[in-house]
Each structure stands twice: as structure tokens, then as C-alpha cells.
Amino acid sequence: MTVAQMKDRLIEIIIAKSFQYRDHPPFTLASGKTSNYYFNCKPTTLDPEGMNLIGGILFRMLADTEITAAGGLTLGADALANALAVISYQHGKSIKAFIVRKDVKDHGTKSALEGDVKAGERVVVLDDVITTGGSTITAIERVRAAGLVVDRVIALIDREEGGRENILSYIPRVESVVTRSEIMQVYEKK
């Protein structure tokens, strides 16, 4: 399956499992803004086919890089990083998964990161949805504080509401698997 075919199928799954649209009342987002559409990516990222497609697409996006690990703020990035880790291992070029905690533990190692990563490793920060970029920026800051080198950010979905631009002030490379515009194009044809 080509990346384009994988992406087309993933958009179908996102529309079926993770996308809602309504005129009234609008959804309230984590940022406090309201919107007529809402993405809850967990039903897609935790679906076996969705997870396989996401892992395959992410792996192909990163196959020719020196990235050794991928992760982001829990809970949105966890399934993405795990899918990538499994698919990368199956293709013989392992990319480890890590988790960035929302709240640092007050016991044990008091680490903001979980996973087998070490300072100096080149990593990608993942997020399921970028709206304002706030949670992604939090993840970038914590990953950098742990001594990791953030090569780029990849979001499953970019809502195209300024988040990408906000993140670009922290890191020069921000990509997405799909955009709101691409999803809406398919949704409006149904």
C-alpha cells in the first residue's frame, strides 16, 4: 500500500470514528475556543487498522532520518509513538517510544519522561491534534529539559488554527499526517 493509499484510508477511519460536526451548540475545545467540528483521535489511534496505518505512515515519514525515538505529551501521543515503535521494529529500523508526563511524579526519579531514551538522542515530538500548539510546546520544553534533541514535530491532525505557526517559533520543522482541510474535503463529499 502506498502512503497516499494509507492516508486516504486513514482519513476514512478518522471521519467514521473520530470526527464530529455540528452547527449548534459548538464544541468547546481544550484551548477554550469553540468550534463546529471536533476530533477525538483515540478511537482511531487505538483501532488496530488505524494504529497500523498511523505507524506505517509515520515510519515512512521518518525512515531516512537519524531519529532514534518518538513521543509526546500523554495521552495524545502515546498510541502514535507505540504504533511507530512496532512498525519500525518490523521494518528493521527501530524507533523507540517515550512518554512525556503531564504532571511530573513527586516520588521515585521524579522524571518528566518515561522510556529508554538518553540525553543527546535525536527525537520527534508527536501529538494527535494541533490546535493552538500549547500541549506540543509543553512536550518540546520537557523533552529538551531531559537533554534530547528535538528534530521535528509531527501531528496526526493539524486543525490549521495557528498551532503549527506557534510551534514553529520553537522548532523549525512541523509536519502533519493529515490536515483539517483534507479531512473536510472528504467529509463534504459524503
Question: What's the CATH code of the domain at 157?
Answer: 3.40.50.2020
- Which of helix, strand or coil describes residue 53? helix
C-alpha 120/C-alpha 113 separation (Å) is 14
Q: Is residue 21 part of a domain?
A: no
Total number of domains constituting the chain: 1
Question: Is residue 111 situated within a structural domain?
Answer: yes
Q: Per the domain annotation, does 63 fall within a domain?
A: yes
- pLDDT digit of tens for each residue in the chain (190 aa)? 999 999 999 999 999 999 998 888 788 887 788 889 999 999 999 999 999 999 999 999 999 999 999 999 999 999 999 999 999 999 999 999 999 998 766 655 567 899 999 999 999 999 999 999 999 999 999 999 999 999 999 999 999 999 999 999 999 999 999 999 999 999 998 7
Give the C-alpha distances (Å, rounded to integers) separating 18 from 12, 43, 178: 10, 6, 13
Helix-, strand-, coil-residue percentages of the chain, each rounded to 5? 40, 25, 35
